[in-house]
Structure 1
Amino acid sequence: MPPTAPELLLLILVAVAGGGPWGAAVASAATKVPGPTSPAPSLPPAPPPFALPGGLQTSALLSFFAPVSPKVHNEECRNDSRRYLQELQNLTLWAAQMFDASTKFPEGILAADTYQLGHYDECVGVDVVVGGNGPEDAGRRMRGQYCLATIKFAPMPSTYPAFYRERPHHATEDEDPFSLAHDPYKSAWEKIRVTVDPSKKRRDEFFWSMCIPSSCTAQDLQTSMDAAMDTIRAAYGVRVDITVQESMCSTAKESTEYSIGDHVVGLVIAIAVTITIISTGYDMIVYQQRIQNGGKTARGMESIVLVFSAYSNLEKLGKPDRTKDMRILHGLRLFSMVFIILGHRCLFSYGGPFYNPEFLEERYRKIQDMFLLNGTLIVDTFFVLSGFLTCYSIFLELGKRKRLNIGLLYLYRWMRLTPVYMMVVAFYATLLDNLDNGPMWKSKMGLERERCEQNWWTNFLYINNYVNADQLATMWIVSLIAGFIGLASMFGGWSFYIPGRPYYIWENATYATLHRIAWSMAMCWAILGSITTGFNVLEPILSLDAITPLSRLTYCAFLTHGAVDLYIVSTLRVPQYMSFPRLFWMASGDLVMAFIFALFIHLLFEAPIGGIQKLLMAGGKRPRPDDQENKRKNLNETNEMVETPKGSTNPAYRGDTKEETQEI
């Protein structure tokens, strides 16, 4: 008799699963006359072989997709897996969905597309009750669990001996280990073979998605897959090592479980939002009207309430910097942050599911990509800015007071940076993990939460890096030298990316020692040349007033943009295709979202904390807007640089003016 529709569909599914070693067997079986099948018992004691049209036994094949091996000691898992295979034989929808969500045969391995992600949502969406025998026996709940198994493979020495030949460190007549071109007439094992070129992505290791019953553990799946591979190892002469980590398995969350830390952080955010709303309303409706009518300025508790006003804080955020000579600092800070976010977008995208990794292998050989590959240098710009402003402020104080309280200086800096920093760390350690899900959510976002939970105190103490790691012609010459030094420090690293280039230890040591110093010197000249002589080609752009508000948000943007990148990678369902237009498109979205989140953090935490610090130094008195304007006019008329470029006057500098300052 001809095969029924369910049998045909199951044949197609298994044929897809057997696209490799089993393809020929399935194809030949499809031409045979099918024999009758008998219904399977409700819960067989062992995984029974069942017949496809033509009598093809597929239990050994499908057992790869469910932990039914006798080597699996979890009896509950084995029983649920047997039920799964039984219902798959009957083409029951939920079982077919689980099988459909699993990877049948890897694709794109030779192109280094090593993430075979299947269909995550189809898998975790399976939630049924099976095996009920009446009102008294409601049956057993069956839920889909998505796992990513890591599979490493290679031919046996007897299968392809050349795979294990010595890897040359230099190009020879027969082989160039640094070439991206491969002889299309040679064995595919040549492209899979690992070479000494670190810029090439490994092709002998990939991730295979599996959908299994939720009663099974990662170890159960690993044991079952490893046992199912025994036949393949022997028949085709390949080595196959399978690893399944618990962090790579996940199910749909029935309900979000919040810890005490989650509730505490949520409560702090809710309180901050409530106070900001109340303060903003009071400021706009009561205080601003009173000031316009010549009323008294805020004092005492009213001053504390008003520092939380989003209206006033937004107004301050948008005001241009009054120190015209130092506006270039805002431009340097903003554009440095733009390149940092772009670099981190590349870092996260290249390290996640990647459809065309050969694109990256080619980019490693392009000197123009050093802005991204050597982009960590740009972070040093912030160190230069912070150090420059700190030294500048210290010189001002020593020139006036001849004394300096170093302890108070450090305390002020710690108090200004830490509250916002720790709030972001607390969010990472608590609520961030509950926002979404995905194939790699537990392995990436869960790992980030675990790190923040364990190491928050190192961030609190700022030891996380150590614990757990006059003539115009003259100006032209100096500027050219500074520009050359900066470009050399950035693009000089390209020499280490040239394929097959000999390694010289003295060259590596010299570059590693000096390239950051050289970049910092170039940034110092960009600042000093602009301030002292006004000679800077980029000054008109870097000093635009429109840049200032965004520059003041860079600290919060730096703290938040990593969460944006991490969220996108952790929720990916399919590998991403990469190109430069696409990278810039994605980085543009990162920039927008990072600064939106930065604005909220600034209004809820950074600006109010800075305002409270200022009130403490001013004795609790809030200055009148007209008084502040008069001081600004006097300051501009005298053109005196008596302030440090964001925040409040540093209490370490006793007796300084109480003008608002802009501190990095």
Structure 2
Amino acid sequence: MVILMLATLYTNVGEGPFWAETSRVSNSCRDNWWTFFLYIENYIPAESCIPQGWYLGVDMQCYIVAVIIMVFLKKWSKMTLIGMGVLILLSTVVSFWNCYINRWAVVRVHFTAKADDYNFHYYIKTYTRCGPYLIGMICGYIIYNLKTSPRKYQLTMGKKFLYWMMCLTLLATCIYLPLSLTDDDDSIWQNALFIPVHRLVWSACVCSIVLMCVTDNADFVNSFLSMPIFQVVARLSYCAYIVHNFWILAKVISLKTVVNYYVHQVVVDSWGTTAVSLLLSFILSLMFEMPAPEIEKYCIKFVKKIFAVLSSAMGIKSKASNTL
């Protein structure tokens, strides 16, 4: 439905000096909509209808591979875990080499002529993004074993404090270390190392927080993350992810005056964009996402009834032919 609205209505919902840019979005939806439905938009060298939709393609492709891995994990757990570790290492090496030979800088690459090459050849590719996904699978496997084990893993207060200090330090490093990296020749290998490794570190820290909550070693964090409000936000997160970019684009290209950015305005705009995105996602979820499972159940029941009628009719015909 979002693609349909972008292809038809998006160009008519606003105006501004740069509003003609919306026709580029609509045309890409008319021409390349099929790549989104096949989840291959991250490998097609064409303008994407939904620019942030590359993640959905990567997620589906990793999901297909994960099903195969789960089959091997059930029969040969140790060898499969080793194989997953090898895949993570290969993904990191390929990403490092790709970033190194193309001399991509982690901060400024999005604002240079190399942005398109970086996005298409590295940023949206499955083989460079599969590392965190595999780490999440390993975390899920560990949680499964913890749930089925009678053993309790309680840490002392000292170990808990040490863990949280290490975890928060690593997370802060992933956020603030790029500010010290430059795009000169001396920092090329540092950029190439940071780009693939920081995602692995971030995902490992997030998985470790989940493990701490599962083992009852993070009572406050577990209580906070278990608040009912997050269930509401989680139901709206998919639609918000799809529509937020187009609200930002509409807001920017409809401006008629020069904007001077400062901290207060950025904070207000960020919260305003979040609120509008959640409101739009609520409308989309209420109109399309929530009714979809019920419609699917109804269609499945209808198809089953048709097959039942056809099978019974064929059974009657076969009995009649046998009596004759």
Normalised by the length of structure 2, the TM-score is 0.55
Residue 34 of structure 2 corresponds to 457
Whole-angstrom CA distance in 1 between matches of 2:266 and 2:245? 16
Residue 8 of structure 2 corresponds to 430
Whole-angstrom CA distance in 2 between matches of 1:429 and 1:545? 36
Residue 294 of structure 2 corresponds to 611
Residue 255 of structure 2 corresponds to 572
Q: Check if 1:476 corresponds to 2:161.
A: yes
Letter of the 1:430 partner, please give it. Answer: T
Whole-angstrom CA distance in 1 between matches of 2:294 and 2:211? 30
Residue 74 of structure 1 corresponds to none
What is the CA distance between 1:440 and its match in structure 2?
A: 0.5
1:61-210 matches, within 5 Å, as none
Q: Check if 1:547 corresponds to 2:202.
A: no
Residue 175 of structure 2 corresponds to 490
SS in 1 for 2:228: coil
Letter of the 1:514 partner, please give it. Answer: V
> RMSD of the TM alignment (CA)?
2.3
Whole-angstrom CA distance in 2 between matches of 1:590 and 1:505? 35
Q: Check if 1:467 corresponds to 2:60.
A: no
Whole-angstrom CA distance in 2 between matches of 1:549 and 1:591? 14
Which 5+ residue runs of structure 1 have no aligned equivalent?
1-422, 621-664
Q: Check if 1:517 corresponds to 2:94.
A: no
SS in 1 for 2:196: helix
Residue 585 of structure 1 corresponds to 268
Whole-angstrom CA distance in 2 between matches of 1:455 and 1:536? 47
SS in 2 for 1:509: helix
Whole-angstrom CA distance in 2 between matches of 1:597 and 1:508? 38
Task: Rate the CA distance shift 1:533–1:613 in 2: closer, same or farther, 3 A.
Answer: farther
What is the CA distance between 1:501 and its match in structure 2?
A: 7.0
CA contact (8 A) 1:482 1:521 kept: no
Whole-angstrom CA distance in 2 between matches of 1:502 and 1:509? 12
What is the CA distance between 1:451 and its match in structure 2?
A: 1.9
Q: Deviations over 1:253-295 (max 9, x none)?
A: xxxxxxxxxxxxxxxxxxxxxxxxxxxxxxxxxxxxxxxxxxx
Q: Check if 1:538 corresponds to 2:115.
A: no
Whole-angstrom CA distance in 2 between matches of 1:460 and 1:435? 25
What is the CA distance between 1:614 and its match in structure 2?
A: 5.0
With 450-459 and 512-521 compared, the bigger mean Cα shift is at 450-459
Letter of the 1:496 partner, please give it. Answer: L
CA contact (8 A) 1:479 1:525 kept: no
Q: Deviations over 1:571-606 (max 9, x none)?
A: 111111211111111122211211111111111110
Whole-angstrom CA distance in 2 between matches of 1:536 and 1:501? 45
CA contact (8 A) 1:437 1:571 kept: yes
Task: Rate the CA distance shift 1:532–1:453 in 2: closer, same or farther, 3 A.
Answer: same
CA contact (8 A) 2:3 2:29 kept: yes
CA contact (8 A) 2:16 2:255 kept: yes
Letter of the 2:16 partner, please give it. Answer: G
Task: Rate the CA distance shift 1:577–1:504 in 2: closer, same or farther, 3 A.
Answer: closer
Q: Deviations over 1:229-274 (max 9, x none)?
A: xxxxxxxxxxxxxxxxxxxxxxxxxxxxxxxxxxxxxxxxxxxxxx
Whole-angstrom CA distance in 2 between matches of 1:600 and 1:538? 31
Task: Rate the CA distance shift 1:521–1:563 in 2: closer, same or farther, 3 A.
Answer: same
Aligned-pair identity (%): 26
Residue 84 of structure 2 corresponds to none
Task: Rate the CA distance shift 1:482–1:536 in 2: closer, same or farther, 3 A.
Answer: farther
Task: Rate the CA distance shift 1:587–1:450 in 2: closer, same or farther, 3 A.
Answer: same
CA contact (8 A) 1:490 1:519 kept: no
Task: Rate the CA distance shift 1:586–1:466 in 2: closer, same or farther, 3 A.
Answer: same
Task: Rate the CA distance shift 1:545–1:534 in 2: closer, same or farther, 3 A.
Answer: farther
Higher Cα radius of gyration: 1
SS in 1 for 2:2: helix
CA contact (8 A) 2:160 2:217 kept: no
Whole-angstrom CA distance in 2 between matches of 1:459 and 1:515? 28
SS in 2 for 1:538: helix
Whole-angstrom CA distance in 2 between matches of 1:609 and 1:426? 17
What is the CA distance between 1:454 and its match in structure 2?
A: 1.9
Whole-angstrom CA distance in 1 between matches of 2:222 and 2:185? 41
Task: Rate the CA distance shift 1:616–1:426 in 2: closer, same or farther, 3 A.
Answer: closer
Whole-angstrom CA distance in 2 between matches of 1:503 and 1:525? 34
Give aligned pairs, total.
Answer: 194
CA contact (8 A) 2:181 2:187 kept: no
Whole-angstrom CA distance in 1 between matches of 2:297 and 2:179? 47
1:611-650 matches, within 5 Å, as 611-614=294-297
What is the CA distance between 1:437 and its match in structure 2?
A: 1.8
SS in 1 for 2:181: helix
Residue 595 of structure 1 corresponds to 278
Letter of the 2:13 partner, please give it. Answer: L
Whole-angstrom CA distance in 2 between matches of 1:493 and 1:536? 32
Letter of the 1:487 partner, please give it. Answer: A
Q: Deviations over 1:436-486 (max 9, x none)?
A: 2211011x2121112222221111111112212322233333333222222
Q: Deviations over 1:595-628 (max 9, x none)?
A: 11111111111011123345667x68xxxxxxxx
Whole-angstrom CA distance in 2 between matches of 1:504 and 1:587? 32
Letter of the 1:461 partner, please give it. Answer: L
What is the CA distance between 1:541 and its match in structure 2?
A: 2.8
